[in-house]
Amino acid sequence: MANFYSTQRVVPNILLTGTPGTGKSTLGQELAQQLEFVYVNVGDVAKEKELYEGWDQDYECPILDEDRVIDELEEDMKTGGKVVDYHSCEFFPERWFDLVYVLRTDNSVLFHRLEQRGYSGRKLEDNIQCEIFQTILEEASNSYLPSIVRELPSNTPDDMEENISTIEDHIRQWKASKR
Ligand SMILES: Nc1ncnc2c1ncn2[C@@H]1O[C@H](COP(=O)(O)OP(=O)(O)O)[C@@H](O)[C@H]1O
């Protein structure tokens, strides 16, 4: 069943999630440009507004202040037309999203991408394990209606083209279902 916010929106909000390196920002920026949607990179928003609540010693990165991220984006998410990119998804309010995509990348491809990004040691291993264990897919499946959660392969540029047309189809279906 559609949620209250969803019924208010005339264009959908899209969540792109998945393990770091699976191609969320590459797809997200391209998709937003083609659809004339607004691309929202949650990591960048947090950095810009300093929405942090501490420092993670193990991963040597700041800890996101999830409540402040939600407060920051809440108003914008009421209207549709956003493509949100983040490597986690369970803390977002369910009402924000009409379509949820979990990007998936083969281990060897992902390993190479993360190495290129400068990841090594535990950070690299943990992210590969995250993909192997389908952690983000499980998180998305537990957080959103099964009917709106879909996996997308994200290994090659052809995959990206295909994903854009798949998402465009889903947007058409979403709009048709509201009539
Ligand atoms: N569909 C794809 N085919 C080939 N390379 C890709 C694809 N999507 C992303 N990449 C590459 O993989 C790397 C990680 O992509 P990025 O979009 O930054 O991932 P994320 O935002 O999920 O961390 C980048 O070098 C990007 O160019």
Tell me the CA–centroid distance for residue 24 and ligand 1, in Å: 7
In a domain, 8, yes or no: no
Q: How far is CA 161 from CA 11, 109, 166, in A?
A: 21, 18, 9
Mutate to test the pocket of ligand 1, among 19, 24, 26, 110 (most ligand atoms within 8 A of CB): 26
Binding residues: 21, 23-26, 117
Q: What is the pLDDT of residues 94-110, one digit of tens each?
A: 999 999 999 999 999 99
In a domain, 4, yes or no: no
How many domains does the chain contain in total? 1
CATH for 152: 3.40.50.300
Q: What is the pLDDT of residues 43-91, one digit of tens each?
A: 999 999 999 999 998 877 899 999 999 999 999 999 999 999 999 999 9
* Ligand 1 atom closest to 20 (CA): 23
pTM, rounded to two decimals: 0.96
In a domain, 148, yes or no: yes
User: Looking at residue 37, what DSSP letter applies?
Assistant: P
ipTM: 0.99
Domain of residue 76, residue span: 13-173
In a domain, 90, yes or no: yes
